[in-house]
Amino acid sequence: MTSPTSSKSSLPEAWQVQLPIFEGPLDLLLHLIKINEVEITDIPVAVICDQFDEYLHLMEVFDLDVAAEFVYEAAVLIHLKSRMLLPRRSAEDGTLEDDPRQELVERLLEYQRIKEAAQSLAEFHSLRQGLWTRQPQALDLPAGDGSVELDEVSLFDLLGAFKQVLVRYEHEHPAPFHIHRETFSVRGQFERLLGHLHLDRPYDLLLDLRGRSCRAEAVAAFLAILELARLDLVRLHSTGVGEILLYRTSKELLAHELEAIQG
């Protein structure tokens, strides 16, 4: 089952990761059961629930689309985890009530059977299409008995490997120090320029822009000048020698005009 495409993603479209067929929350549960080397019929719910939640967090780190079915399965595991913490009540005949995990176990067993059947059908379809795999090539095997076991790598295997990298990176690197840049508003520059402009004295525009502390402030100042010209509060004149002068007009700034300036 492929994950739905999100309405908006920070990654380019070519980088979007799609989960292959049948790889969903139940695939993840089967993967966790496999790596924990436990039986489906005896699932350690607390451990599996915590690991499932960590994989969801990794998917968010990768900016993968987390389908609603993953969120639903996480809620089911949390519910089971809370039920497993409570003592099982006895029925009137003295027998214990059904294991809370039974429904999940049955779903996993049924899903495993469907997945195996689908895989068999897919292999048969490939044969019918005349698609043949590449002939096995000789491998440089390490010294020993001369054999090596190779397993397919799923998306969950890759996420698990990346999780180990993140944990190691956090141990070996200190937390980054973030420097918050100063921000400059258009309205603030608008009011600053109004304070410098006079009816009887020109104001050097380029000299003002060159005197700003950084690129961001210069951009805000330039946008403020455009607002001044739009509101007919200044006139701009070129001297012909590379200078642009601002002249304050006699028009008064209205309160609602100042309030309308955003940014």
> For the segment 175-224, what is each residue's pLDDT rounded down to a tens digit?
666 666 678 889 899 999 988 888 888 888 888 888 888 888 888 889 98
Indicate whether 228 and 124 sit together in one domain: no
pLDDT at res. 216: 87
Indicate whether 208 and 160 sit together in one domain: no
The rounded percent of the chain whose pLDDT value lies above 70 is 68
pLDDT at res. 10: 40
Indicate whether 166 and 236 sit together in one domain: no
pLDDT reading at 11 higher than 50: no
- Domains contained in the chain, number: 2
Strand ranges (DSSP E) for the chain? 203-204, 234-238, 244-248
| Residue 190 counted as domain residue | yes
Asked if residues 55 and 35 have their Cβ atoms less than 8 Å apart, the reply is no
pLDDT reading at 39 higher than 60: yes
CA angle, residues 177, 180, 185, in degrees to nearest 5: 175
Range with the poorest average pLDDT among 26-40, 88-102, 202-216, 222-236: 88-102
Asked if residues 228 and 190 have their Cβ atoms less than 8 Å apart, the reply is yes
Question: pLDDT band for position 63 (50/70/90)?
Answer: low
Give the integer Cα–Cα distance in Å for 114 and 7.
Answer: 31
| Residue 3 counted as domain residue | no
Strand ranges (DSSP E) for 117-223? 203-204
pLDDT reading at 42 higher than 60: yes
Range with the poorest average pLDDT among 114-128, 181-195, 238-252: 114-128
pLDDT reading at 238 higher than 70: yes
pLDDT reading at 142 higher than 50: yes
Indicate whether 34 and 124 sit together in one domain: yes
Indicate whether 168 and 55 sit together in one domain: yes
pLDDT at res. 192: 92
| Residue 241 counted as domain residue | yes
Mean of pLDDT values over 6-22: 40
Indicate whether 166 and 200 sit together in one domain: no
Indicate whether 162 and 191 sit together in one domain: no
Indicate whether 103 and 230 sit together in one domain: no
Domain range for residue 26?
Answer: 17-88+98-132+154-172
* Most confident among 73-87, 122-136, 138-152, 182-196 (mean pLDDT): 182-196
Strand ranges (DSSP E) for 82-233? 203-204
Q: Would you tell me how many other CB atoms lie within 10 Å of the CB of residue 132?
A: 8
| Residue 140 counted as domain residue | no
| Residue 93 counted as domain residue | no
- Where do the H-state alpha helices sit in 134-185? 155-172
Phi, psi angle pair for 154, to nearest 5°: -95, 175
pLDDT reading at 254 higher than 60: yes
Strand order in the sheet with 203-204: 203-204, 244-248, 234-238
| Residue 137 counted as domain residue | no
Question: pLDDT band for position 98 (50/70/90)?
Answer: confident
The rounded percent of the chain whose pLDDT value lies above 90 is 2
Question: pLDDT band for position 20 (50/70/90)?
Answer: very low
Amino acid 262 reads Q
Indicate whether 217 and 116 sit together in one domain: no
| Residue 177 counted as domain residue | no
Mean of pLDDT values over 37-50: 86
| CB-neighbour burial class of residue 185 (10 A; exposed 0-12, middle 13-18, buried 19+) | middle
Question: pLDDT band for position 253 (50/70/90)?
Answer: confident
Indicate whether 110 and 225 sit together in one domain: no
Asked if residues 45 and 92 have their Cβ atoms less than 8 Å apart, the reply is no
CATH number at residue 211: 1.10.10.580
Residues with Cβ within 8 Å of residue 6, at least 6 apart in sequence: 65
pLDDT at res. 12: 43
Mean of pLDDT values over 106-117: 85
Query: For the chain, what is the mean pLDDT?
Result: 75
Indicate whether 167 and 197 sit together in one domain: no
Indicate whether 195 and 162 sit together in one domain: no
| Residue 50 counted as domain residue | yes
